[in-house]
Structure 1
């Protein structure tokens, strides 16, 4: 869930075979693998991905902390190896470094522009025709998500999940309310 809070799209797998299917279907920018998965373990998944010439970066995140396990994980194709317990902040930092080094980072520019709107993610400022607009945090996140997906049809569920950052069980009309705030 912490990855979703940091604007990562996440797909999960219950076992190694499902992980291989997810990689084929989802085409991720990075794979976080646990070594101790049922069925195929994380090492076997990484080995099969390497056999397929899959170049998606792999970060092992596991309770297996022996030096031999770390060397094995890095040797068979892992780009990094973290052991549990772990810091979420460190995990996110390592993911960002791997994505940046692999050229898969989405952090090209902190500024988004669409028509007459400009959004600066670093300063959390929004301008329309060069004039500043004051937005609440939720309005800012909603606008950023919409501007990050121009000309893309987004479902209500996608927007609620991304902007409100959890499985939203409240009144879905809250989305229409916030869209009306943005239109002002």
Structure 2
């Protein structure tokens, strides 16, 4: 029997909710639909969902706040944010809150369905990976999201964790900048590419300790690779 993915639609516009629910049902998704952030959090915590379509503007609190609370509760459900806001700063705000992708209204249903398929493929692929990924003395448990180095636990944000995971999944290969942006910030990321450098710095600051070999190496003009370097001073 073919698995039916479960998608929760969160939007305060009842007509859009009905439209999206109908289109998704035609595509053989199991669909839930709610109109407030509070209802969304209740549904997300009470039942398993494969993906959330989350509107930014809700009557009680914003979709960004829903996303923050979702990630704070350690739920890793993929979130695709739907909004009419298109400023780069607002996109960064949504992504930093834990959104996996971002689609500007008005959008075509064909593009939305393509984004959903891509996100579910990526999520399904990661679910099939081994539970523990490691490099040198760095360990990541993908089931519990626990990260440690030399046995010492490291606290990462959702974005830092996803960036580290992207590097860890193929540690012997140089990860190109554009590929990392697509994998961590979504296939259709539009914004300042220097955002990647900012998060690489955040990640290095947390996982590279004085006296231990550096782990994230820059390959100029290409991207980044996990490789043991000289001890950090």
TM-score tier, shorter chain, comes to 0.5 to 0.7
Q: Residue 38 of structure 1 aligns with which residue? A: 59
Q: Which has the higher strand share?
A: 2
Say which of 87, 90, 93 aligns to 1:72. Answer: 93
Q: Residue 160 of structure 1 aligns with which residue? A: none
Unaligned runs of 5+ in 2: 1-21, 127-233
Q: Moved runs in structure 1, 4+ residues, more than 2 A?
A: none
> How far is 1:57 from its partner?
0.4
Residue 51 in 1 paired to residue 78 in 2? Answer: no
Secondary structure in structure 1 of the residue aligned to 2:53? strand
Q: Residue 26 of structure 1 aligns with which residue? A: 47
- Structure 2 length normalisation: TM-score? 0.44
Distance 1:64 1:22 in 2: 25
Unaligned runs of 5+ in 1: 106-184
Compare CA radii of gyration and give the structure with the larger one: 1
> How far is 1:14 from its partner?
1.2
Over 3 Å counting, the alpha-carbon distance change for 1:76 and 1:35 in structure 2 is same
Q: How many residues align?
A: 105
Residue 83 in 1 paired to residue 104 in 2? Answer: yes
Distance 2:122 2:106 in 1: 25
- Structure 1 length normalisation: TM-score? 0.55
Q: Residue 35 of structure 2 aligns with which residue? A: 14
Over 3 Å counting, the alpha-carbon distance change for 1:6 and 1:55 in structure 2 is same
Q: CA RMSD in A?
A: 1.4
Q: Deviations over 1:33-90 (max 9, x none)?
A: 0000110210000000010001000000111221111111111111100010001010
Secondary structure in structure 2 of the residue aligned to 1:10? strand
